[in-house]
Structures are given as structure tokens and as C-alpha cells.
Amino acid sequence: MEGGSRRHENNANTKFFLGFSVYISNTTNKEDGVMCFWDTNYTRATIPNPVNITCVKHGRYVIYYNNRTHPPYPDGYSTSTHNDLCEVEVYGCLKTGYYGENCSKPCPQNCRENHCDIVDGTCLGCILGYRGQTCEEKCKDNTYGQDCMYICGKCLNGAQCNQIDGSCINGCDKGAYGAKCNKACPVSRYGYDCRHKCSINCGVPERCDRVTGQCEGGCQVGWSLPTCHQKCYDGQYGQDCVKLCGKCADNERCHHINGSCLNGCQPGFQGDNCNQECTGRKYGAGCLEDCGYCVEYEKCHHISGKCLNGCKKGYQGLLCTEECASGFHGHNCLERCSSNCEVPEICDKISGHCRGSCKKGWTGNMCKSECAGGRYGQDCALLCGHCLNNEQCHHIDGRCLNGCQPGFRGDNCTHGKRCNSTIFLK
């Protein structure tokens, strides 16, 4: 078509060209290709002649296409269309993989199928694992594949996967498996490459977190968190191992489930779990030892047997099992027997009472009281004489220390006064 705008507008053929499109395809079917141009702006006055279109796509066929299927049409459009092109010229490099003036420059090496823009050399797509206009940039930031559009799986320690196929060279991180580490561990497995099996001792058996192995529903009784593979330890037992073992013999571990001590208790403790102190005046191994004579029958220490508040009268020693030594009595045997006992310093170890009688001049259970009330001698059985002013005589021998009443004489004032009598005879 020749001439200026007005001649285009008056040209009867221009109305048939308006709205045309151009496709590039490897087949004769445009749906198999891509549209590289579509006229949406030309009018009968502005459509150029010739029309130059730059398509940077690659294909075997250039398809010119136009239709009239969706009325109403823009102003100037015909109601029908047909192909009335005089000539179509296609320019490009004859040999694939080159671009530029005289098609002398090779396309970048990572262009897909070695196809690039024949003008500036930008790739018409990249091979797997590369991106960028000239496909020089490897996939990164955990991406891979065509145009780096795919996300890597869970590679070990968050490493970049293979840029081409997404495989994890060094294996998978916790909770994932497969060549690309994009599969979550099965329900019953966890850890790196899903190598570990969830414990049968989980609250829900063999159900655990795929990454950490922490059991769903906690552990069954007697097993320790988080993975429930290990029995309770460090002196604990029961649900979640929060209960403390009792005093098992030789500090052995108690049963991880019920806390029982399999080999008995430490001295001073009793019960299946050995968590009860000895009772009933018992102490020691198996609570079989009897407490000594503790004061007021208070129990002794449950382990050592020591009386906590001292010994009962008549006993001594740490365990209050030793009787008082000769000559002593009372609490902890701290009191001496009286020297006034008939057998000196021999008395009852509990009460302190003299065994047998008291020495002359002494009375009372413990022979600590002098005779009084006008008496003296053995068992205070003798009566004092007529001491001056009725004073008490000496408690042992009955002597009147301050003399006799008038008319009496002698040490004990028991003799009457001697008189000089005159006898008259008739």
C-alpha cells in the first residue's frame, strides 16, 4: 500500500487488516505457539505499509491470523476478514545459536536449546538451574529447576539443593526424606532422613513429632520425656518421671513405673517405696531394731536409734541401752547414789533408792534426811535424851550438843541428877 494517511484511509483493503495478530510456532497450529503481536491500536489511517514487527521468539512457522467473531467491532473494522497480503518477509539468523550483526555472535552457553534474541543475544529461556537475561546466574536461595521457579526441600542444615534437579547431596534435615527431601517423615518416624523410630512408650504409641521425636500425648508411665525411649532415671519414677524414689537400699534406682525398691530400703525406712520412716519405737535396717530406753518413751531416731531427748532414768549411752554404772542413777545416769546408804553408793539405778537400810542417823528412801523429831541412830529408832530446851540430839549417836535439861546428865542426857541424901535414925 502506498501514499499518505488519507490514501490509507481510503484504501478499501485496510479495513480487512485491522486487529490482526502474529504467532510463532513449531507447528502450523497457532495454539502450539506464542503470540508475538496483536493489533489493538491501528486505524485505517494509521496502519503502516509495510508493517515491521520484531518477534524474539523461536519457531519454524510465522502465522498471520485475523478474525471477526466478537461483534460489535471498532470503527473502521470490516465485518469479515480475509488474507490479502502481498508479501511476508521473515528475517533471522539461518543457524541456531547465533545473534547480532551478520549473526556472528554465539548465544550464551546456558540458553535453553541454544536459542537467544538475534538482536541483543538475551536468552529465550534458560537451561535447568540457571536464570537471568543471559542465563549466567545459578539458582540460589533454595531454588532450582526451570527458571529457578521450584523450591528446594529440607536439605541438611538448610543447604542449597542441586540447582538442576533439586536433589540434596548431603542428605535431609530432620523431619524429611527422599532424594529431594521434600517428603515429610511417615507418622512413626522422625529425625535426620527419618532414621529414628518413634517410641512405643509414647502416650500414643509410635506417634511423635517428625522433627524432634517428642511423643504425642507425653510418655507412658515410667518413661522420660521428650522421646520416651529412656526409663525414668536420677531417682525418679511414674508419669513423666516427676515422682521421687524413696530411700532404696544402697541408693539403687527404684522401679521406673511404680517406684518400688526391689532390694529393700535403707536403714530407717519402710514400705514398698521406702518413703516411710520407721514407726512404733523401731529403727535401723528393715525397722527391726528396738529403740533404747528413751526419756518419756519418745521414739528414737529412725536411722541411728539415738534417743532425741536423752535417756530414761537408769540408762545412758547414745542409744540409751546401757544401765547406769554403779553409784549412779536418774536421767542419763547423771546423779550419784547417796553415801548414806547402808552399802555406800549402792542404790536403785532408776529411783536412786538405797538398797537395804540407811546408815545410822539417816532416813528416807534415798537416805538423804537426818533423823529428826527427837530420834536418832539406826533407822531413827532411838529416842533422844533430855537435851536442853528439848533440842534435837545428834542424829547418829544421840548426844545433846548443848547440854541437858536440869536434873539430867550424861552425853545423851538420859541419867537423872545424883543427890547427897542424909539419913536420920531414931
State the pLDDT at residue 1: 30
State the pLDDT at residue 421: 40
Per-residue pLDDT at 402 exceeds 50: yes
Q: For residue 21, tell me if it sits in a domain.
A: yes
Range of the domain at 80: 1-91
State the pLDDT at residue 423: 35
Q: For residue 386, tell me if it sits in a domain.
A: no
State the pLDDT at residue 13: 85
Query: Which of 286, 290, 280 lies closest to 264, judged by CA?
Result: 286
Give the residue-averaged pLDDT of 171-175.
94
Q: For residue 74, tell me if it sits in a domain.
A: yes
State the pLDDT at residue 295: 81
Cell numbers standing for residue 278: 520407721
Cell numbers standing for residue 301: 531416731
Measured CA to CA, the distance from residue 105 to residue 288 in angstroms comes to 104
Cell numbers standing for residue 328: 549412779
Percentage of residues in the chain having pLDDT higher than 90: 62
pTM over 0.85: no
| CB-based burial label for 147 (10 Å; 0-12, 13-18, 19+) | middle
Q: For residue 187, tell me if it sits in a domain.
A: no
What phi and psi values does residue 379 have, to the nearest 5 degrees? 60, 20
Task: Collect all residues with Cβ–Cβ distance below 8 Å to 207 and sequence separation of at least 6.
Answer: 187, 188, 198, 215, 216, 217
Q: For residue 163, tell me if it sits in a domain.
A: no
Task: Collect all residues with Cβ–Cβ distance below 8 Å to 281 and sequence separation of at least 6.
Answer: 290, 291, 297, 299, 300
Q: For residue 188, tell me if it sits in a domain.
A: no
Q: Which parts of 115-262 fold into alpha helices (H)?
A: none
Measured CA to CA, the distance from residue 156 to residue 195 in angstroms comes to 13
Q: For residue 66, tell me if it sits in a domain.
A: yes
DSSP 75-113: TT--SS-----S-------SSTTEESGGG-EEPPTTBGG
Residues 277-325 have pLDDT tens digits of 998 889 999 899 999 988 866 678 999 999 888 888 899 988 999 999 9
State the pLDDT at residue 426: 32
Query: Which of 254, 288, 257 lies closest to 270, judged by CA?
Result: 288
| CB-based burial label for 208 (10 Å; 0-12, 13-18, 19+) | buried
User: Which residues are paired to 244 by β-bridges?
Assistant: 236
Measured CA to CA, the distance from residue 310 to residue 318 in angstroms comes to 8
State the pLDDT at residue 424: 34
**In contact, 359 and 366? CB cutoff 8 Å:** no
Measured CA to CA, the distance from residue 237 to residue 139 in angstroms comes to 53
pLDDT-derived band at 9 (thresholds 50, 70, 90) equals low
State the pLDDT at residue 210: 94
Measured CA to CA, the distance from residue 61 to residue 409 in angstroms comes to 173
pLDDT-derived band at 417 (thresholds 50, 70, 90) equals low
Q: For residue 79, tell me if it sits in a domain.
A: yes
Cell numbers standing for residue 98: 547465533
For the chain, the domain total comes to 1
Measured CA to CA, the distance from residue 321 to residue 319 in angstroms comes to 5
Measured CA to CA, the distance from residue 101 to residue 118 in angstroms comes to 9
